[in-house]
């Protein structure tokens, strides 16, 4: 490997390790996903009840585009092309990846049965880095938000800002 390729590989690894969130695009729109870096690849879990929805096209043998953001500023650091592998439940590779994922999974409603639920109902996907780029795009890459069931039921009362500021002043 050339020095540039080694530096590029190191940037991908360090940036992805430190960022708790990556943007992944398979065959559809990009999605922000939490992940862990394990044995040279980003590993994700999703597509099950209570877990993050994975973008379409993350099938074994496919490729995906991964964009890594800065943890402190949130801006784009590096983008890389990933080879996609779907890990087979209870395989040796799956067990090792799930052990890492379980440690990073926040607010799981069923922490004791988490790995069994993942084996039954979810997919664990490994994204192995390929080519990478630190070039910034010429366009903004802005996109409309994806549809979601999360909504605000009603607007905040008009007096709420005054009430909050009044409480802060009493302390």
Question: Is residue 117 in some structural domain?
Answer: yes
Residue 28 tokens, joined: 């559809």
The 3-state DSSP composition of the chain as helix, strand, coil percent (nearest 5) reads: 30, 30, 40
Please provide the DSSP assignment of 73-131 as one string. Answer: T--EEEEEEEEEEEEPTTSHHHHHHHHHHHHH--S-TTGGGHHHHHHHH-EEEEEEEEE
Question: Is residue 164 in some structural domain?
Answer: no
Backbone phi and psi for residue 71, each to the nearest 5 degrees, phi listed first: -65, -35
Question: Is residue 107 in some structural domain?
Answer: yes
Strand 76-87 to 31-34 pairing: unpaired
Question: Is residue 157 in some structural domain?
Answer: no
Structural domain boundaries enclosing 110: 3-137
**Residue pLDDT, tens place only, 125-148:** 999 998 887 777 778 777 787 777
Question: Is residue 8 in some structural domain?
Answer: yes
Question: Is residue 77 in some structural domain?
Answer: yes
Question: Is residue 109 in some structural domain?
Answer: yes
CB 122 within 8 A of CB 116: no
Domain count, the chain: 1
Question: Is residue 74 in some structural domain?
Answer: yes
Per residue of the chain (171 residues), what is the pLDDT tens digit? 788 888 888 989 999 999 989 999 999 889 999 999 999 999 999 998 889 999 999 999 999 999 998 888 878 889 999 999 999 999 999 999 999 999 998 888 888 899 999 999 999 999 999 888 777 777 877 778 777 777 667 777 777 777 777 655 555
24: domain CATH number is: 2.30.110.10
């Amino acid at each position: 490997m050339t020095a540039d390729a080694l530096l590029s590989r190191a940037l991908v690894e360090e940036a992805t390790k430190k960022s708790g969130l990556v943007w992944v695009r398979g065959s559809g729109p990009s999605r922000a996903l939490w992940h862990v870096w394990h044995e040279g690849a980003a590993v994700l879990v999703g597509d099950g009840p209570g877990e993050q929805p994975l973008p379409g096209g993350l099938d074994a043998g496919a490729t995906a585009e991964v964009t890594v953001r800065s943890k402190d500023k949130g801006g784009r650091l590096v983008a890389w092309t990933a080879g996609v592998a779907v890990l087979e439940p209870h395989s040796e590779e799956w067990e090792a990846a799930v052990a890492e994922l379980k440690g990073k999974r926040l607010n799981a409603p069923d922490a004791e049965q988490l790995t069994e639920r993942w084996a039954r109902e979810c997919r664990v996907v490994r994204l192995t880095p390929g080519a990478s780029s630190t070039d910034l795009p010429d366009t903004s890459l802005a996109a409309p938000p994806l549809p979601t069931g999360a909504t605000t039921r009603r607007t905040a009362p008009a007096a709420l800002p005054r009430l909050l500021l009044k409480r802060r002043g009493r302390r």
